[in-house]
A and B are shown apart, each in its own frame.
Chain A
């Protein structure tokens, strides 16, 4: 057995050191956000943002949970958009990708072109906006955010490649047994391509959850705002929250001194509460993101 040379050990140390630096730089803004949310408002006012605050305080979270109306409403909207959008997206993408994955589909070429052209050329943001707002009348309708993102060309081609892995012989034998195409898809292809569908669903969930531009264009009413829009308008949201806290009829008769409300740190508490639940879910499922990306390949 060869012993490790000094050089190699040194090399290992350098590699770890560099990666650790990257890791610390990555994690730093997140930790800092949490620290600020736990900082006492007065210490923030006194010495500004600091890594080690003079005094810690849970106040921001306490007040946040006393007036959670907007946050809960934001979660509700985000969940509606994400769940509805993802179900529709997976369904439509699958319905398009499956026939394209079948070598015996006679109209394959036509539909391939139909799906491919939008990858090269689009009507652009203005035309999409006019279509949705003027001609479909979908302003303040969740559909405006859900539907346009469905059945994207890239996803169709990615899923098509993955569906080609389902052995054709299995599908043929199903046909011989008298199964319709739809039944074959439902009972043979779908169960065998669960990981591919899971990847598609997860990517879709992430995209819908983080989408800010479409809600900003189409969901104008504040009660339709998803979480990302609440973050985008965070200062207004916190001001409104403060008013709700000060109004005795909504805060349950408690008298609150306006100076007690930590309006700066609440912003950061709101950021944490708006992000952490999803982050916990996604980091657990991280391997699916990478798996799909690798097996799906870059090519459409």
Chain B
């Protein structure tokens, strides 16, 4: 008797527990109704345009034909990956992507910090304003425009720089048929476009330094370089680390603009300017093999994901504040 009573009691308690939980969920829902309603529209957009395409990844394992659609096409396993990695393109685009990214990360880090330090030395407010405004202007340009602006400098048809080189070395050089030259040109263009914006974030960290620190150092007899080395640089370090780590996580996404539009998509330059992004983009504009391209993007995404997770781990171990998540 006692046993059954206990069971009934426990059962009732369980039931009321569930009811209680359900009731609480209902209250929670009612309380958050307004905020939930706000999320609906953006959530739908995100699901359609960010999550649905993830299903499309299966194309990488299929022989995609437009008439059959994503689901109707035949499965081919890892053939697409095999095709890409066995082709000459694979080595070329991987090498270029990594080379340019490493060069761009290092050069822009150094230039941005140096320009920020230089700007910090300027006490004349008008000069400062002029420098900052002018350096910022290229940030507003589209890469297409940058590419067009470069032509009269580099064209073999009387370009300014070509003329200059011809006058100095007596050598005719056609930049648009000289892929190796772009190993220097593209990082310079990248700096030209980004230094105004990139130096700003460091400049504002410098502005936040308590000037008493510099005065104290001066009284202690520290010269300018010692002050920069022991006060300014350490202030910039955390920011520089975060930005660099974020860039490393993004190392396979080289940014289409610089490589596609600035080179004017010149075929003769592919050897040293073709990167993963341009490779994929070109296959979309020319309607080439979607399956292989899909395999390339999947590979790019997975490596990118691993890099983000790893770099984030490193960032977290440096300082929790600086991790992405």
- Chain A residues contacting B283 (CB-CB under 8 Å) are 126
A96–B260 Cα gap in the complex (Å)?
34
Q: Does A69 contact B (CB under 8 A)?
A: no
Chain B interface size, as a band, is: 35 or more
Q: Mark A101-128, 1 if CB is under 8 A from B, else 0.
A: 0100111000100111110111111111
Contacting pair B324 A127 (CB below 8 A)? no
Complex contacts, A279 vs chain B, CB 8 Å: 137, 140
Q: How far is the CA of A279 from the CA of B36 in the complex (A)?
A: 40
- Residue of B whose beta carbon sits closest to that of A274: B145
Residue of B nearest to A27 (CB): B134
B96-131 CB contacts (< 8 Å) to partner A: 115, 118-119, 121-122, 127, 130-131
Chain A contact residue count (CB 8 A cutoff) = 89
Contact A16 B257 (CB under 8 A): no
Indicate if the CB atoms of A32 and B201 lie closer than 8 Å.
Answer: no
* Binding-face segment, B8-16, B53-61, B168-176, B179-187: B53-61
Question: Which of B38, B48, B150 contacts A99 (CB under 8 A)?
Answer: B38
B66 interface hit (Cβ, 8 Å): yes
B150, A123: Cβ atoms closer than 8 Å: no
Please report the C-alpha to C-alpha distance between residue A121 and residue B307 in the assembled complex, in whole angstroms.
12
B302's nearest neighbour on chain A, judged by CB, is A121
Query: In the assembled complex, which residues on chain A have CB atoms less than 8 Å from the CB atom of B235?
Result: none
Q: Which residue of B lies closest to A116 (CB)?
A: B325
Of the listed stretches B82-90, B266-274, B293-301, chain A binds B293-301
B233 at the interface (CB under 8 A from A): no
Task: Write the nearest CB–CB distance from B109 to chain A, whole angstroms.
Answer: 14
Q: Mark A259-295, 1 if CB is under 8 A from B, else 0.
A: 0000000011001001100110011001001100110
CB-based contact A33/B133 at 8 Å: no
Q: Once the chains bind, are B42 and A123 in contact (CB under 8 Å)? A: no
B163 pairs with A48, CB closer than 8 A? yes
Q: Does B211 contact A (CB under 8 A)?
A: no
Contact of B140 among A118, A268, A283 (CB under 8 A): A283
Query: Which chain A positions have C-beta within 8 A of B55?
Result: 123, 127
B213-225: CB near A (< 8 Å → 1, else 0) gives: 0000000000010
Closest to A300 in B: B324
Taking the complex as formed, is B52 at the interface, i.e. its CB lies under 8 A from any CB of chain A? yes
Contact B243 A49 (CB under 8 A): no
Inter-chain contact total with CB atoms closer than 8 Å = 252
The 8 Å CB contact of B42, one of A92, A216, A217, is: A92
CA distance A214 to B79 in the complex (A): 29
| Cβ-based interface call for A185 (8 A) | yes
* Other-chain contact of A217, B160, B284, B309 (Cβ < 8 Å): B284
State the majority secondary structure of interface residues on B: helix
Which among A17-25, A79-87, A192-200 touches the partner chain?
Answer: A17-25
Within 8 A of A (CB), among B288-322: 290, 293-294, 297-298, 300-301, 305, 308-309, 321-322
Whether the pair B118, A19 counts as a contact (CB closer than 8 A) is yes
- Shortest Cβ distance from residue A35 to the other chain B in the assembled complex, whole angstroms: 9
Query: Closest chain A residue to B119 by CB distance?
Result: A19
Output the nearest chain B residue to A96 by Cβ-Cβ distance. Answer: B42
Are B50 and A212 in contact, CB atoms less than 8 angstroms apart?
Answer: no
B197 cross-chain contacts in A, Cβ below 8 A: 289, 293
A36 to chain B minimum Cβ distance, whole angstroms, is 6
Residues of A within 8 A of B239 (CB): 298
Interchain CB contact (< 8 A) of A124 among B35, B246, B301: B301
Q: Mark B182-210, 1 if CB is under 8 A from A, else 0.
A: 00000000001001110011001000000
A121 neighbours in B (Cβ, 8 Å): 54, 301, 305
Would you give the shortest CB distance from A215 to chain B, in whole angstroms? 10
- Does B153 sit within 8 A of A, measured CB to CB? yes
Nearest CB on A from B222, distance (A): 14
Chain A residues within an 8 Å CB radius of B243? 298
- Are B281 and A213 in contact, with the CB atoms below 8 A? yes
Contact yes or no, B53 A147, CB < 8 A: no
CB within 8 A of A185: which of B38, B130, B139? B38
A250 nearest CB across to chain B (Å)? 26
Establish whether residues B135 and A49, one from each chain, have CB atoms under 8 Å apart when the complex forms.
Answer: no
Pair B135/A23 contact, Cβ less than 8 Å = yes
A233-257: contact bitstring with B at CB < 8 Å (1 yes, 0 no)?
Answer: 0100000000000000000000000
Chain A residues 180-216 with CB under 8 Å of chain B are 180-182, 185, 206, 209-213, 216
Q: Are B144 and A212 in contact (CB under 8 A)?
A: yes
Contact of B142 among A99, A102, A181, A231 (CB under 8 A): A231
* Given A26-B195, A212-B144; 14 other pairs, CB 8 A cutoff: A27-B137, A95-B42, A114-B43, A121-B301, A124-B57, A126-B283, A126-B293, A131-B49, A210-B141, A228-B142, A231-B142, A290-B200, A298-B239, A299-B324
**Nearest 9 A/B pairs, CB to CB:** A48-B158, A123-B53, A127-B56, A181-B34, A124-B297, A127-B53, A210-B142, A96-B42, A118-B50
Interface residues of B (CB under 8 A from A): 28, 31-32, 34-39, 41-43, 45-57, 59, 66, 69-70, 115, 118-119, 121-122, 127, 130-131, 133-145, 148-150, 152-153, 155, 157-160, 163, 192, 195-197, 200-201, 204, 224, 239, 242-243, 246, 256-257, 260-261, 280-281, 283-285, 290, 293-294, 297-298, 300-301, 305, 308-309, 321-325
A-B pairs with beta carbons under 8 Å apart, 7 shown: A8-B224, A26-B135, A49-B152, A121-B301, A129-B284, A206-B140, A213-B256
On A, residues with C-beta under 8 Å from B are: 8, 11-12, 15-16, 18-19, 22-23, 25-27, 29-30, 32-33, 36, 47-51, 92-93, 95-96, 98-99, 102, 105-107, 111, 114-118, 120-131, 134, 147-148, 150-151, 156, 180-182, 185, 206, 209-213, 216-217, 228, 231-232, 234, 267-268, 271, 274-275, 278-279, 282-283, 286, 289-290, 293-294, 298-300
